[in-house]
Amino acid sequence: MRILHTMIRVGDLDRSLDFYTGVLGMKLLRRKDYPEGKFTLAFVGYGDESGQAVIELTHNWGVESYDLGTGFGHVAIEVDDVYAACDEIKRRGGVVVREAGPMKGGSTVIAFVADPDGYKIELIGA
């Protein structure tokens, strides 16, 4: 068994794709419209789905935003240098919501960025 993907609902698919591909550097792996169901699925990630987990962006047509609730925490991405990654994300127009630095009570360097819908992405130093 392995994890295939994590699904999140997005209010504006193009805006989200710009963030995940343009700001975080992921690739659009596949995208498909489902007219009868009135939704579109887009899968993004850093590599082929056959070898690693990806993120499924679900856009329900006509829905512009979602209540994120309190159950979901974040998606984590490993980066070589958290400080440099934050600088690059800001340069590309992304929003850093917790600057790079050691995690509370530990020494692992982390940071958090927010996607256009408010989902948190944790950056963890390699």
Residues with active-site annotation: 122
Burial level of 119, CB count in 10 A (0-12/13-18/19+)? buried
CA dihedral sign of residues 40, 62, 121, 67:
negative
DSSP 81: -
